């Protein structure tokens, strides 16, 4: 549905009246989570009833202006803080609405003015009511994180550019819609055989095999996977048609293929994975991911000197998913930027909670491969540190060898900027990658973490013991601190101390735990250390 097709505001619409009532609660209700959820739902409901986004925004900002007038009155001179407050509120509203609509998958119109998923669903329903046979394609870019290399001007134009190229390969009657981030939905009306969507997908796949010339003059390759389904053969309603096409796309991606048809025999595992992705999508929207805290201790005394913040999320069955599985799903679906922003804010919140009870230890968290080619990352972190008024020295950022091998020059530049913020840098899982010693020497690293696989195998493999010893010696020679992961037994602790490794983390001391449990553990551990020192 195009913007010109949306209807004007109707004064007696109960949905609109509910939106007005919620907006009148500004600004005191902004911090109320229940109000926030009802407010976002009201945006969705209004868009779903065909109202123009620009009209809703205009209406909402009248309430913002009213709040501003109440606070500033008729004064000619207004404090800079007040002006910044309302400027930030306007920007925050736009960002929140954009994110909520995008993540809620109920957008009529995306940021480029392209009809969105809700419009696609309505189109499918109309065709079903007319008893027309329809083909559906779900097209998703699989290398979105490589876009971190792009200039802002290129990144802004790329989605609409790709959408136009997709449309050029299709029939005039075929319709292209914006789906999720990095996804397009194509509706192919009046298809009478599977060969027609297959041919359309082949034309689109051929397009994705060609370089894309950007506004800046450079060219990139964009890779995509395509899933196809037909109505009514593969689904009886619009929602399940999109679900089937997406499930087929997941199947294609799992087999490293560019295209796949929906098949009712698709494994239950893929059905489960699809639902996991749906649930993760919602968790990112509602910020229900968790950070658990694992202590890092002095191996000789047991004193807690720091902690690692580790991602935790319960899947659809209520069980914890492996963190790497969650990260993989986030990156596969192009949600890395959203996740990294959440991670930073959650880390700041954890530091603030610990400060409130007098625990001022350093905290570490992991960055992804794509983070280390994102030139905006240091600025984002600087903003978060400033907002929470926490010094960068409080945090250690953990990087993997593979993350640093993607683009060495850019990685070094980003690391240098992170160090300028005061943050410490740690090389995680060292010894499992392929970086050269000369490259390691050039890195502004403060800490080397010894992978748990080597620690666990020290008494079973002479090679593993030599690796641990070599890493400890190397760290000492380079002026870095070694820290062992996976310390689970007294024998391992003793051996690490003998080798010269003074710090570690693992189940010998504590499993990762929620922050409130960590606070209780920390206090008990401090008491144990003090009692041992008094003997």
Give DSSP secondary structure letters for 383-433: HHHHHHT--GGGEEEEEEHHHHHS-HHHHHHHHHHHHHTT-EEEEEEETSS
- Using left for φ > 0, alpha for ψ between -120 and 50, and beta otherwise, residue 525 falls in alpha
In the three-class reduction of DSSP (H, G, I as helix; E, B as strand; rest coil), residue 376 is classed as coil
Contact predicate 206/169, CB 8 Å: yes
Measured distance CA(423)–CA(416) in Å, rounded:
10
In the three-class reduction of DSSP (H, G, I as helix; E, B as strand; rest coil), residue 354 is classed as helix
Contact predicate 189/127, CB 8 Å: yes
Contact predicate 211/126, CB 8 Å: no
Measured distance CA(397)–CA(420) in Å, rounded:
13
Contact predicate 411/447, CB 8 Å: no
Active-site residue, selected from the candidate residues 375, 409, 485, 517: 485
Give DSSP secondary structure letters for 436-485: -HHHHHHS--SEEEEPHHHHHTTTT-HHHHHHHHHHHHHHHHTT-EEEES
Count of beta carbons in the 10 Å neighbourhood of residue 18: 16
Tokens representing 471 are 């890493």
Contact predicate 237/249, CB 8 Å: no
Measured distance CA(303)–CA(505) in Å, rounded:
11
Q: Which of 194, 170, 350 is nearest to 260 (CA)?
A: 194
β-pairing, 304-312 with 290-298?
antiparallel
Whether 485 is catalytic is: yes
Contact predicate 338/503, CB 8 Å: no
Measured distance CA(307)–CA(482) in Å, rounded:
15
- Annotated catalytic residues are 485
């Amino acid at each position: 549905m195009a913007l010109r097709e949306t209807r004007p505001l109707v004064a007696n619409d109960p949905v609109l009246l509910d939106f007005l009532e919620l907006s009148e609660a500004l600004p005191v209700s902004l911090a109320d989570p229940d109000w926030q959820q009802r407010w976002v739902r009201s945006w969705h409901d209004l868009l779903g009833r065909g109202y123009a986004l620009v009209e809703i925004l205009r209406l909402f900002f009248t309430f913002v202006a009213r709040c501003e007038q109440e606070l500033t009155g008729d004064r000619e001179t207004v404090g800079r803080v007040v002006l910044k407050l309302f400027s930030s509120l306007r920007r925050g509203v736009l960002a929140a609405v954009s994110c909520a609509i995008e993540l809620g998958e109920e957008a009529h119109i995306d940021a480029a003015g392209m009809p969105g998923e809700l419009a696609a669903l309505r189109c499918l329903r109309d065709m079903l009511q007319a008893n027309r046979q329809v083909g559906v394609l779900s097209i998703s870019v699989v290398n979105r994180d490589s876009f971190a290399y792009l200039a802002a001007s290129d990144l802004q134009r790329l989605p609409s550019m790709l959408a136009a190229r997709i449309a050029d390969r299709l029939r005039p009657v075929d319709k292209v819609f914006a789906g999720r981030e990095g996804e397009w939905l194509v509706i192919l009306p009046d298809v009478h055989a599977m060969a027609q969507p297959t041919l359309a997908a082949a034309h689109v796949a051929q397009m994705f095999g060609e370089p894309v010339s950007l506004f800046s003059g450079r060219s990139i390759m964009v890779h995509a996977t395509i899933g196809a389904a037909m109505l009514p053969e593969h689904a009886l309603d619009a929602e399940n048609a999109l679900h089937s096409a997406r499930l087929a796309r997941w199947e294609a991606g799992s087999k490293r293929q560019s295209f796949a048809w929906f098949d009712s025999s698709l494994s239950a595992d893929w059905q489960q994975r699809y639902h996991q992705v749906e649930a993760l999508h919602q968790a990112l929207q509602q910020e229900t991911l968790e950070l658990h805290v694992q202590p890092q201790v002095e191996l000789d005394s047991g004193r807690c000197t720091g902690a690692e913040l580790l991602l935790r999320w319960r899947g659809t069955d209520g069980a914890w998913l492996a963190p790497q599985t969650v990260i993989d799903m986030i990156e596969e679906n192009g949600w890395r930027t959203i996740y990294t922003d959440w991670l930073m804010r959650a880390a700041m919140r954890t530091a603030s909670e610990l400060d409130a009870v007098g625990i001022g230890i350093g905290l570490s968290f992991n960055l992804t491969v794509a983070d280390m080619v994102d030139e905006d990352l240091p600025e984002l972190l600087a903003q978060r540190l400033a907002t929470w008024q926490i010094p960068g020295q409080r945090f250690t950022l953990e990087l993997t060898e593979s993350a640093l091998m993607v683009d060495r020059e850019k990685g070094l530049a980003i690391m240098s900027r992170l160090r300028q913020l005061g943050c410490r840098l740690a090389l995680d899982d060292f010894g499992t990658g392929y970086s050269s010693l000369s490259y390691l020497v050039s890195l502004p690293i403060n800490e080397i973490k010894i992978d748990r696989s080597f620690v666990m195998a020290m008494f079973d493999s002479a090679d593993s013991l030599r690796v641990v010893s070599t890493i400890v010696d190397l760290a000492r020679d380079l002026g870095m601190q070694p820290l062992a992961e996976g310390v689970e037994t007294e024998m391992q602790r003793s051996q690490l101390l003998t080798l010269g490794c003074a710090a570690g983390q693992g189940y010998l001391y504590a499993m990762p735990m929620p922050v409130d449990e960590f606070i209780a553990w920390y206090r008990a551990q401090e008491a144990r250390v003090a009692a041992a020192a008094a003997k």
